[in-house]
Amino acid sequence: MTGPAPHPVVRPAGPADLAAVERIERASFGDPWSRGALFGELQADAMRLPLVAEIAGEVCGFLMAWRVVDQLHVLNIAASPAVRRRGVGTALLLEAARLARGGGLREITLEVRAGTTAARGFYRRHGFAETGLRPRYYGDNGEDAIIMTCAVDRVLEET
């Protein structure tokens, strides 16, 4: 590909996106969510916020989050290996923050594996701070989870 990379377009996700989301999930994580769990999170409702990013009409990333009181809790975010570091994660996070602000939510929270320094750096660049620890959180290997938190408005300012 020559020239600038196409800008990702973010839209609401739904059950029709399951195959693409599952493909990205399996390519991104050593302990991927099951097909049933992914399908459940693609059901947009008052609690769930599923988004996908597309480049040239092809799904290349996704974000799944829950609205909990005044927080948006990000459950999962991933981009296809072929488009990593091209703004897909940022586009997803920004749209989630915009929707959170529009819905009156004040804060975004998430857990990230303690050993994933790239992911922790990504969130720090977008204004997140490490605010807690969940010891032995991940079932596949007992790795700790770092809790990261950011005000919705700060995410929008930092990006």
d(CA 103, CA 101): 5
Catalytic residue chosen out of the listed positions 25, 41, 107, 123: 123
Catalytic residue among 22, 25, 107, 111: 111
How many other CB atoms are found less than 10 A from the CB of residue 130?
A: 14
Place of tokens 């975010």: 77
Residue matched to tokens 């599952």: 22
C-alpha radius of gyration, the chain, whole number: 15
Q: Is-contact 83 61, C-beta < 8 A?
A: yes
d(CA 125, CA 41): 27
| Residue 137 falls in the annotated catalytic set | no
Token pair, residue 103, equals: 């819905």
Active-site annotation, residues = 111, 123
